[in-house]
Amino acid sequence: MARITLEGVKKSFGSHDIIKGADLEIDDGSFVVFVGPSGCGKTTLLRLIAGLEDVTGGRILIDGADVTDTPPAKRGLSMVFQSYALYPHMSVRGNIAFGLKMAGRPKAEIDEKVSRAAEILNLTSYLDRKPRELSGGQRQRVAIGRAIVREPKAFLFDEPLSNLDAALRVQMRLEVTRLQRQLDTTAIYVTHDQVEAMTMADRIVVLNAGRIEQYGTPLELYERPANLFVAGFIGSPRMNFVAGKAAEPYGAATIGVRPEHVAAGREGEGWAGTVSVAEHLGSDTFLYVDVPEIGAITSRAPGEFGISVGDRVILRPDPARIHRFDAEGRALRA
C-alpha cells in the first residue's frame, strides 16, 4: 500500500500548459478515480505519477518520499493499459511471468506468484493459451495479472475497460474493485465515464482543462458539487440549470436541480410546460419538457408514467434539492 501526494504538479508540452498545478493526497489503500472530459489531462496526470512523463514543476511523493526524479521502475507502481499490451507470441503464463523473469527472480517464486495471480483472476485453465485465443475480458485479466505479480505499492489503471462491450465492462468493474479490496492496494483509475467513476471510487478527482475542479467521495460530488462544471458532469441525465428570473428568488445567478428531483404532474403550482420527448425505460421515465421563459427541463420519474409527447405538465423542483451558483459558477451554500 502507498500514500501518494502531489504538490503543485505542473506539466507543459511546448507552450501548452496541460496540468496547471495539481495538489492531491491519495490515502493508503484507497481507490481513486480521475474523471473528466476528453483531453482534460487525466492520462497525463497518471503518467506523471508513474514517472512515464517528467513534471514541469511541483513534487510527487510516495509514502512521504520525494520520487519526482525517480525512474518509473523504481517507484514500485504497476500500470495497466487500455490496450492490454500483451505479447502475442507468449502464453498467458509467459505474459504474466515476463516482468519477474526480466527481474531475474527464481523459477520457484515465479511459478508460485503466477499460479496465485491466475487463481485470483480465474485464469488457471487458460495459462497455456495465447492472447488471441482469449476473450477481451480474459485478456484484460492477464494484463492485470502481470501487474499483480509485481506486488506494487499501487496500481495505475488507464481506461482499462474501454475496449470491452457494455455487459463485460459492468462485470469487470466489479472484479477490479473486488480485487483491489482483496489485495488491499492503493489504486488510481482513469476513465471518462462518470458512471464508472461513481460506482468504483472511494474518492473521485474531477479534472477539467488541466485543473482539479473537486476531490471528494461520489456522494459528496453528487450532493455538494463545488461548481457548475462538477454539477453538470456528475449525474445522468445531466442536472438542469436555470438562470435569470427563476434563479433570482433563490439569490443565485444560476440554480441547478437534478432530473430525479423534479416531479411532473398534471396540475398544481410549478413550471408549466409541454413534453417534447418521453423516454420509457420501464424502471424510469425521462420527460424532456419545454418550459417557456425557463428552457428545456428534464424530469425523471420512477416507474412507468402515463404521459406522452405533447402533453402539458407542471414541474415541481424539490426546494430542498436546489443547488445555487454565483455568477462565476461557484456553489453557494446556505
Least distance to ligand ATP from the beta carbon of 42, Å?
4
Q: How far is the CB of 46 from ligand ATP (least distance, A)?
A: 8
Q: Does 42 help bind ligand ATP (rule: CB under 6 A)?
A: yes
C-beta of residue 213 within 8 angstroms of C-beta of residue 230: yes
Residue whose CB is less far from ligand ATP, 209 or 263: 209
Cis amide linkage into residue 237, ω under 30° from 0: yes
By the rule CB under 6 A, 83 interacts with ligand ATP: no
Beta-bridge partners for 206: 35, 214
82 is a site residue for ligand ATP (CB under 6 A)? no
Tell me which residue of 269, 270, 275 sits closest to 289, measured CA to CA: 275
**Cβ contact 149:117 at 8 Å:** yes
**64 dihedral zone (left: phi>0; alpha: psi -120 to 50; beta):** left
What's the min distance (Å) between Cβ of 141 and ligand ATP?
Answer: 22
From 40, 67, 97, 242, residue interacting with ligand ATP (rule: CB under 6 A): 40
Single out the residue of 5, 26, 32, 44 in contact with ligand ATP (rule: CB under 6 A). 44
**Lookup: cell for 1:** 500500500
Stretch that binds ligand ATP, among 20-28, 41-49, 72-80, 105-113 (CB under 6 A): 41-49
Strand partners of residue 24: 6
Q: Which is nearer to ligand ATP, 38 or 182 (CB)?
A: 38
Which range of residues in 22-30, 33-41, 170-178, 245-253 is near ligand ATP by CB under 6 A? 33-41
Minimum CB distance to ligand ATP, residue 211 (Å): 12
Q: Does 194 bind ligand ATP (CB under 6 A)?
A: no
13 sits near ligand ATP (criterion: CB under 6 A):
yes
For the chain, percent helix, then strand, then coil, each to nearest 5? 30, 35, 35
CB of 80: closest distance to ligand ATP in angstroms? 15
**Which residue(s) pair with 87 in the sheet?**
none
Instruction: List, as one string, the DSSP characters of 90-140.
Output: S-HHHHHHHHHHHTT--HHHHHHHHHHHHHHTT-GGGTTS-GGGS-HHHHH
One of 8, 39, 57, 268 touching ligand ATP (CB under 6 A):
39
Least distance between ligand ATP and beta carbon 259 (Å) = 25
List interacting residues with ligand ATP (CB under 6 A): 13, 18, 36, 38-44, 192
